[in-house]
Amino acid sequence: MSLRTAAYAGLLLVVPFSSAFAQDATTVGERVKSALSRQGTTLSFDRISGDASTMLIEGARISIAPESAEIALGNITLTDVRENAGYVVVGSIILPNYSVTRDGMTVNATGIGFTNLRLPAPDSTDAMAGFWLCDAAQMQNVTVTIGDKQAFAMDRLHFEMDMPANGKSLTFSAAADKFSGDLSVVGDPNARKLIDALGLRTVTGTLDLSGFWRPADGRLAIEEYDISIDRAGTLGLTFELGGYTPDFIKSVQALQKEMAAASEAGENSAQAKSALGLMQQLTFRSASIRLEDASLTGKMIDYLAGAQKVTQSDVVNQAKGLLPFLVARLDDAKLTAQTTAAVSTYLDDPRSIEVTAQPANPVPFSQIMAAAVSQSLKDLVKILGVSVKANQPGSDSSAAE
Of 80 and 130, more confident: 80
* Residue 28 reports pLDDT greater than 90: no
* Residue 10 reports pLDDT greater than 50: no
pLDDT at 276: 77
pLDDT at 6: 43
Instruction: Kindly list the distances between the CA atom of residue 162 and the CA atoms of 10, 172, 214, in Å, as whole numbers in the listed order.
Output: 21, 6, 12
pTM reported for the whole predicted model: 0.82
Of 348 and 91, more confident: 348
Q: Are 5 and 28 in contact (CB under 8 A)?
A: no
pLDDT at 16: 39
pLDDT at 223: 97
pLDDT at 329: 80
For residues 106-135, average pLDDT:
77
Give the pLDDT confidence of 39-94 residue by residue, as tens digits. 567 878 899 888 877 889 899 888 876 666 788 889 989 888 777 776 667 789 89
* Residue 2 reports pLDDT greater than 60: no
pLDDT at 43: 77
pLDDT at 102: 85
pLDDT at 20: 36
* Residue 130 reports pLDDT greater than 70: no
Q: Which of 244, 92, 239, 112 is nearest to 170 (CA)?
A: 244
Domains of the chain, by residue range, sit at: 84-289, 293-390
Q: Are 127 and 157 in contact (CB under 8 A)?
A: no
> CA 87, CA 177: separation in Å to the nearest integer?
32
CA 60 to chain centre: 26
For residues 340-349, average pLDDT:
95
Average pLDDT, the chain: 82
pLDDT at 39: 58
